[in-house]
Amino acid sequence: MSNDQEIIDQHFLPQCYINGFVNESGVLYTLDLKLFAERGKVPYARESTPAKICKDKHFYTVDERAKVYNLGGVIDKYQVEKSFHNYENNFRQLIAKITTGAPLTYNEASSLIRIIIDLKYRNKFYRDKMIEPRQGRVIEEAFVELQSSFDNDPAFRAKYEGITPQEWAAVNQQVRDQLLNDPDFKKSAHLSSLVNREDGYEALLQSLIPKLLACAWVVLKSDGQFISNDNPGCSLDSNTKVNNTYFDKDFLFVIPLSASVCLTISDAQQDISFINDQHFKRYPVVDAPQNMIEMSNSFAVKNFNKIAFGPVKTLLDDLAKNLRIEN
């Protein structure tokens, strides 16, 4: 693995996204929601910059211990971290175009959906809340499948010629116990899926992109009144439950793309114009009603890692005053 230049602090939310929430002075304000959730203390807004937030040390670094997770072929251990750089120009250009209301080409609209899903999938929230709790189940299912292949697939068993069933079972159990107790499981499994595009991620995108493009989009515009958090975007289902992601049926997905622009996608209405001509994705850009600004901003206290952020201190202070302990 290449180790030319050490990259220690790595953003799990790219700065090209966070930059959309700075004010004219190039700063933003953050609210420590974790302080309230864990200790019941009402936080107050603190000044910060995009470079200082939404990052962890070596969050995406692939180390030597990760070989067992099908990462042995990674040449550059910062491969995942560097891949975020592909967003930098593309994302800001897309947001600038959306702000004007100009139609997006099919490729541009598809790229935006891919970036949005990637923001969710590559996020710390996904690693901590989606991968870590599944550690035991994922490992057990994998080893049951391996055992079944050894027992029933002659071609698979031929790869281990000379090993007895008892020896295979013993090695299997040893490795299984090692993984079940591996404190780095969630990181290594997450990185493996990002590098190898496993766990159905590409299949998910291939089904989601056309589905979301066929839905009606509405872009809400405000005078810098939208805030976000370190795991942006969420879905309302038919029971008005707020989900980290939900795109099955009867959903409204809301994601602030910047402090001035918020994208909503709903399957309540199909985009007939796009269905008839998929060369361009068109959408209305409307002044955001106050209730929609408040709804979007209220989602900032849902499914977060640690902080909410925005360009105006009073927006965050007002949000802090209305925090409630959820059961």
Instruction: Report the pLDDT value the prediction gives residue 1, as an integer from 0 to 100.
Output: 46
Which residues of the chain fall short of a pLDDT of 50? Answer: 1-2, 327
Structure tokens at 133: 């709790």
Q: Is 123:13 a contact under the CB 8 Å cutoff? A: yes
168-216 pLDDT, tens per residue?
888 878 777 777 778 788 888 888 888 876 556 777 888 899 999 999 9
Q: Judge whether 234 lies within some domain.
A: yes
Q: Judge whether 253 lies within some domain.
A: yes
CA-to-CA separations, 253 to 181, 219, 281, 294, in angstroms, rounded: 37, 12, 17, 15
Q: For residue 42, give its domain range.
A: 9-92+105-132+198-321
Q: Judge whether 241 lies within some domain.
A: yes
Instruction: Report the pLDDT value the prediction gives residue 327, as an integer from 0 to 100.
Output: 38
Task: Determine phi and psi for 285, rounding to 5 degrees.
Answer: -110, 115
Q: Judge whether 187 lies within some domain.
A: no
Rounded to two decimals, what is the model's pTM? 0.87
Domain count, the chain: 1
Q: What pairs with residue 229 in β-bridges?
A: 308
- 3-state secondary structure (DSSP) of residue 125: helix
Q: What pairs with residue 29 in β-bridges?
A: 47, 310
Q: Judge whether 4 lies within some domain.
A: no
Give which of 215, 315, 189, 194 is closest to 260, Cα–Cα. Answer: 315
Instruction: Report the pLDDT value the prediction gives residue 285, as an integer from 0 to 100.
Output: 97
Q: Judge whether 190 lies within some domain.
A: no
Q: Judge whether 162 lies within some domain.
A: no
Instruction: Report the pLDDT value the prediction gives residue 238, as an integer from 0 to 100.
Output: 94
Instruction: Report the pLDDT value the prediction gives residue 3, as an integer from 0 to 100.
Output: 53
Q: Judge whether 21 lies within some domain.
A: yes
